[in-house]
A and B are shown apart, each in its own frame.
Chain A
Amino acid sequence: MSMTAELLYFLASVLFIIGLRGLGSAETARRGLLISEVGMAAAVAGTLLHPDIVTYKWILISAGVGSAIGIAMAALIPMTKMPERIALSHSFGGLAAALVGVSEYSLHHQTVAHSTMGALGFEVLFGGLTFTGSLMAFGKLQGFIPGRNITYPFQNQSNIAMFAGTALLLVLLTIWPSVQFFFYLMFFVAMVLGVLIVIPIGGADMPVVISLLNSYAGLAASATGFAIDNNVLIIAGALDGASGFILSVVMSRAMNRSFGNVLFGAFGKADASAVAALAGSQEIHEATIGDAAMLLSSGQKVIVCPGYGMAVAQAQHAMQALAERLEAEGIEVKYAIHPVAGRMPGHMNVLLAEANVPYDQLKEADEINDEFAEADVALVVGANDVVNPAAKTNPSSPIYGMPVLNADLAKTCIVLKRTMNPGFAGIENELFAMPNTVLVFGDAKDTLEKISQALA
């Protein structure tokens, strides 16, 4: 590797870290992004100097087409589809790493050193797994594949056996690198495993799965760095891996679950009979648009608890219009954002920022939970499990122990709901039947617009 290329790679590594630091606050984030873009340009420039590159023809065509697709996707994808977009790009990342590994192996399988073979094996294993696993996650989010958890007998046992099988193949390959059959069999099994691991996981757990696959994509990139002896790949992959790991932990904690429970738990199998029995016993208080408008305008402080249902109803803009109207009357409005309010980490913040909600109004659960007691109204829009008080009070509830928003502590709680169906986790919500709760049924967007009109 030439001195110039080494220097450019070094520069890229430093710029990536400085750029990521910029994401520590919304004010510096865009500058950080720009710094990392310079780093990426440096790394690509350094690579193009590589003595092995004899023609730029294929590079120009594929990079040109790829860039065009990237530009189009970035410009056209709606913010609600961000989890799908991220899942798809993890899939591309995994595939790219795996294919580089296969290409390297196909050229050097006769001469490759044992340790390099270990790295190549990891690269192809994690790359293949991330490729198909992310495609499955994408399919589930997009609705090609049923979003519910698909289970079959001995599912966990067979997955663990297959994982042990790929690990064994990796060990065998490291000992005998020239046995091509082991290599391609391992790649194949890793891809099958990616499909089978994600199949049983239900839609509500997607934030954890996406974060975990993010981590795997990073590990695959790092392994590529080991295989081709390139530090910038190792560093960028490690940063990506660490990020995915942290986000997985944040998401698991927000759902009060362990990784193992998400991956092997087959959560969300709603006990239909229990749900039906509870639903029948609940006495609810229904309110009209006029009642809701009066409750909202007669208080001093309103805390909005948005859930994914708000995004499904495309009600973010109607919500912000109502918030602005209330603020014009001197009422304080804040948004309480639960970590799993959207379909991926931080998703709800992006959706609300798109609807022009200033980010200083978006409060994390921990930050705002003590304020509910002094709020006049908690307005729950399309949220269910994240405001379920059973998580605090009922040890027999499946979500007991999960951190939730204290919407039940507000003087009045207004819940906008489409129907009386239970939430994503299939669990009944006591909040809806509490004496200080009123429900307004209907499409959230429509309801919010009508409340705004009633206040005009």
Chain B
Amino acid sequence: MSHEMFLGLYVFVLAAFVGYGVIGGVPPLLHTPLMAFTNAISGISLVGSLVAAGAEHTTFSTALGFIAVLCSSINVVGGFLITDRMLKMFRKRGGKNA
């Protein structure tokens, strides 16, 4: 296994623990927005798709990249917007919005 791959494993395991800790602190009240939020963040596969769509290696790879960018950008843009739409609805007694 390459050195980069091992470094990647360190990063993955540490990030999973950080994620477990941070997300464990999210109250059940916000679990639906949380899911929409992490959905938007996982749209980070844009990073891979953009290169595939813009590199023009082969028609096949460009076409796959094109569809992947389409899917990822729906998730990123839609995910952030819908999370915000939900969070705006949460208000405390007295009418002040979150």
B19→A242 contact, CB < 8 A:
yes
Interface check A165, CB cutoff 8 A: no
Nearest-neighbor residue (CB-CB) of B52 within chain A: A103
What would 11 A/B residue contacts be, using CB atoms closer than 8 Å?
A16-B41, A20-B37, A26-B90, A52-B54, A54-B54, A77-B82, A95-B67, A99-B68, A221-B44, A345-B32, A346-B31
**Once bound together, how far apart are the Cα atoms of A104 and B61, in whole Å?**
8
Could you tell me if B72 and A30 are in contact, using CB atoms closer than 8 angstroms?
no
CB-CB under 8 A for A243 and B38, given A99-B64, A103-B60: yes
Residue in chain A with minimal CB distance to B86: A350
Which residue from chain B places its CB closest to the CB of A345 in the assembled complex?
A: B31
Contact of A92 among B51, B60, B61, B72 (CB under 8 A): B72
A243/B51 in contact, CB under 8 A: no
Whether B77 contacts A71 by the Cβ 8 Å rule is: yes
Complex Cα–Cα for A233 and B11 (A): 10
For A350, the chain B residues whose CB sits under 8 A away are 32-33, 86, 89
B residues 55-98 touching A (CB-CB < 8 Å): 55-58, 60-62, 64-94, 98
**Contacting residues of chain A (12-37) with chain B, CB-CB under 8 angstroms:** 12-13, 16-17, 19-21, 23-27, 29-30, 33, 36-37
Chain B interface residues toward A at CB < 8 A: 1-2, 4-5, 8, 11-12, 15-16, 18-20, 22-58, 60-62, 64-94, 98
Question: When each residue 68-102 of chain A gets 1 if its CB lies under 8 Å from chain B and 0 otherwise, what string results?
Answer: 01110111010100100110011011011101101
A26 proximity list for chain B (CB < 8 A)? 27, 29-30, 87, 90, 92, 98
Q: Which residues of chain B are within 8 angstroms of A40 by Cβ–Cβ distance?
A: 40-41, 43-44, 76, 80
- A339 an interface residue at 8 Å Cβ cutoff? yes
Beta-carbon contact of A92 and B74 below 8 Å: yes
Partner of B82, one of A23, A73, A361: A73
Q: Which residues of B contact A25 (CB under 8 A)?
A: 27
A209 within 8 A of B: no
Interface of B is mostly: helix
Number of A-B contacts (CB under 8 A): 369
Any chain B CB within 8 A of the CB of A180?
Answer: no
Establish whether residues B40 and A59, one from each chain, have CB atoms under 8 Å apart when the complex forms: no
Q: How far is the CA of A60 from the CA of B40 in the complex (A)?
A: 19
**B13 to nearest A CB, angstroms?**
8
Minimum CB–CB distance for B88 against chain A, Å: 7
User: How close is B2's CB to chain A, nearest CB, in angstroms?
Assistant: 6
Contacts of A335-356 to chain B: CB distance below 8 A: 337, 339, 342, 344-347, 349-350, 353-354, 356
Check if B69 sits within 8 Å of A66, measured CB to CB: yes
A2 interfacial by beta-carbon distance below 8 Å? no
Question: How far, in angstroms, from A93 to B35 measured CA to CA in the complex?
Answer: 13
Which residues of the other chain, B, contact A240 by a CB distance below 8 angstroms?
A: 19, 38-39, 41-42
Is the CB–CB distance between B45 and A93 below 8 Å? yes
Bound complex: CA A1 to CA B6 (Å): 19
List 20 other contacts, CB 8 Å, given A23-B34, A53-B51, A96-B72: A23-B23, A26-B87, A55-B54, A58-B62, A70-B79, A75-B81, A93-B75, A100-B65, A106-B64, A115-B5, A214-B35, A230-B47, A233-B44, A240-B38, A242-B23, A247-B31, A356-B91, A359-B29, A359-B92, A361-B93
Task: Report chain B residues within 8 Å CB of A59.
Answer: 50, 53-54, 69
Given known contacts A58-B53, A96-B68, A246-B24, is B78 in contact with A226 (CB within 8 Å)?
no
Q: How far is the CA of A99 from the CA of B60 in the complex (A)?
A: 11
With A37-B80, A239-B41 known as contacts, the answer to whether A58 contacts B90 (CB < 8 A) is no
Looking at the complex, which one of B33, B69, B75 makes contact with A62 (CB distance below 8 Å)? Answer: B69
For A77, the chain B residues whose CB sits under 8 A away are: 82
Which of these binds chain B: A43-51, A146-154, A446-454? A43-51
Q: Is the CB of B35 within 8 A of A97?
A: no
Verify if A158 is at the interface (C-beta below 8 Å from B).
Answer: no
Give the residues from 319 to 346 in chain A that come closer than 8 angstroms, CB to CB, to chain B: 337, 339, 342, 344-346
Beyond A16-B41, A346-B34, whether A53 also contacts B5 by CB under 8 A is: no
Q: Which residues of B contact A344 (CB under 8 A)?
A: 31-32, 35
The interface centre, meaning the residue of B49, B52, B92 with most chain A CB atoms within 10 A of its CB, is B52
Partner of B98, one of A29, A95, A119: A29
State whether A233 touches B48 (Cβ < 8 A).
Answer: yes
> Is A406 an interface residue, CB under 8 A from the partner?
no
Give the interface centre of A69, A92, A250 by most chain B CB atoms within 10 Å: A92
CB distance from A62 to the nearest CB of B (A): 4
A62 in contact with B53 (CB, 8 Å): yes
Measured CB to CB, the closest approach of chain A to B29, in angstroms, equals 5
The digit string for A117-157, where 1 denotes a CB below 8 A from any CB of B, is 00100000000000000000000000000000000000000
